[in-house]
């Protein structure tokens, strides 16, 4: 962009004066997409192409200083990945006729610009049953004594939560619980919930032809890697309200079901890059919820379940 100074009414001077501060208005529009010719690699479906054209947000492993709150913010990015934008300024003037009006550079400067580049909420991720990373469903058994007698089976299934829109860093995750009793045992009334946020950065030196598949990252091409940062979101104690029903012909085969809503609040001291996918870098998130509880019977083991589901941050 060229900004001739002689077009400004207050800049019609023959020479800049020493010690005088000059303010030059400079307006620019950040494009929402990169030039199409920069994304010419093969892709498996049109959604990848349109996603890769969107401007990726600024990303750096270095912490970002927030001058408003006088705090340092962590973007949870690896050192090997960086996305940066800079404005390059150059000031020049035309010499006399002996130089054929050639513009001579007087000075040039570079200014770092942070770009957020928000996204829109996409459809929930299709989770396969053999995924080694995501685990929306799990079950476990309550065991008693040395003979390992089963007292009941507890199953849990988590639904993918709605997207989190910064700066409102609050959402909730809904978990469906089912307890199948053995020998008339009743389900636990209180559970402990420990939730964590995973920030995953997938990167490669060759373009991605599809979204990073977390079903089995070990099977990825050697040129592709991912980096995971985990942050604890705290521990909470929840009381369950069970509903009883029969699942067999025997009256002792009682089952119970309950809905557990876990509130999630993300910490304020982190930089939440929007979930995005570009040609070489992707950032996405997941929530891990660990459920621990005990039946309260002597010699009975505790039951632990661990669920992991995707979450979008926009």
Q: Tens digit of pLDDT for each residue in 115-173?
A: 888 899 998 988 877 788 999 999 987 776 566 667 778 899 999 999 999 888 999 99
Residue 279 CA to residue 208 CA, distance in Å, equals 6
The Cβ of residue 307 has, within 10 Å, a number of other Cβ atoms equal to: 21
User: Do the beta carbons of residue 114 and residue 86 sit within 8 Å?
Assistant: no
pLDDT for the residue numbered 198: 97
Domain boundaries, the chain: 5-113, 137-311
Confirm if 188 and 295 have CB atoms less than 8 A apart. Answer: yes
Residue 29: both structure tokens together? 């529009």
Query: How many CB atoms within 10 Å of residue 276?
Result: 22
Return the closest-CA partner of residue 37 out of 49, 28, 21.
49
Phi, psi values for residue 34, rounded to 5°:
-85, 160
DSSP state of 33: B
Instruction: Return the CATH class of domain 137-311.
Output: mainly beta
Q: Residue 70: its pLDDT value, please?
A: 46
Identify the segments of the chain with pLDDT beneath 70.
Answer: 1-16, 62-73, 95-101, 144-149, 183, 247-253, 294-302
Q: Is the CB of residue 147 less than 8 Å from the CB of residue 298?
A: no
Q: What CA–CA distance (Å, rounded) separates 202 from 284? A: 8
Tell me how far the alpha carbon of residue 6 is from its chain's centroid. Answer: 47
Surface-to-core class of residue 128, CB atoms within 10 Å of its CB (0-12 exposed, 13-18 middle, 19+ buried): exposed
Q: Please name the residues in contact with 53: beta carbons below 8 A apart, sequence gap of 6 or more.
A: 33, 34, 36, 39
Q: How many residues does the chain have?
A: 314
pLDDT at 299: 46
Handedness of CA 260, 123, 229, 164 (dihedral sign): negative
Q: What is the pTM of this model?
A: 0.85
Instruction: Give all strands (DSSP E) within the chain, no chain letters.
Output: 64-66, 71-73, 85-94, 103-113, 137-144, 149-158, 170-181, 190-204, 224-239, 243-246, 254-265, 276-277, 281-293, 303-311
CA 114 to CA 273: how far, in whole Å? 11
- Asked if residue 302 has a cis previous peptide bond (ω within 30° of 0), the answer is no
Query: Is the separation of the CB atoms in 194 and 290 below 8 Å?
Result: yes
How confident is the model at residue 140, as a pLDDT?
Answer: 84
């Amino acid at each position: 962009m060229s900004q001739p100074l002689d077009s400004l009414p207050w800049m019609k001077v023959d020479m800049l004066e020493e010690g005088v501060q000059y303010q030059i208005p400079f307006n620019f529009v950040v494009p929402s997409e990169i030039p199409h010719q920069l994304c010419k690699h093969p892709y498996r479906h049109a959604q990848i192409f349109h996603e890769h054209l969107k401007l990726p947000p600024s990303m750096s492993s270095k912490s970002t200083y927030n001058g408003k709150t006088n705090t340092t913010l962590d973007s949870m990015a690896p050192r090997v990945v960086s996305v940066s934008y800079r404005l390059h300024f150059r000031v020049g003037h035309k010499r006399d006729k002996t130089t054929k009006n050639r513009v001579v550079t007087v000075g040039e400067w570079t200014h770092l610009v942070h770009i957020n580049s928000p996204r829109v909420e996409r459809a929930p991720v299709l989770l396969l049953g053999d995924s080694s990373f995501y685990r929306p469903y799990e079950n476990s058994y309550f065991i008693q004594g040395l003979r390992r007698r089963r007292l009941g089976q507890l199953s849990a299934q988590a639904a993918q939560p709605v997207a989190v829109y910064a700066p409102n860093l609050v959402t909730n995750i809904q978990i469906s619980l089912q307890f199948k009793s053995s020998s008339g045992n009743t389900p636990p009334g209180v559970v402990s919930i420990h939730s964590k946020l995973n920030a995953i950065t997938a990167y490669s030196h060759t373009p991605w032809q599809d979204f990073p598949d977390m079903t089995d990252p070990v099977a990825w091409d050697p040129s592709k890697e991912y980096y995971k940062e985990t942050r604890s979101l705290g521990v909470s104690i929840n009381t369950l309200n069970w509903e009883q029903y029969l699942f067999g012909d025997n009256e002792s085969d009682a089952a119970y079901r309950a809905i557990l809503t876990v509130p999630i609040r993300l910490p304020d001291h982190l930089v939440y890059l929007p979930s995005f996918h570009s040609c070489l870098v992707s950032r996405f998130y997941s929530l891990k919820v660990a459920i621990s509880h005990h039946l309260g019977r002597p010699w009975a083991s505790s039951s632990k379940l661990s669920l992991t589901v995707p979450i979008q941050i926009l």
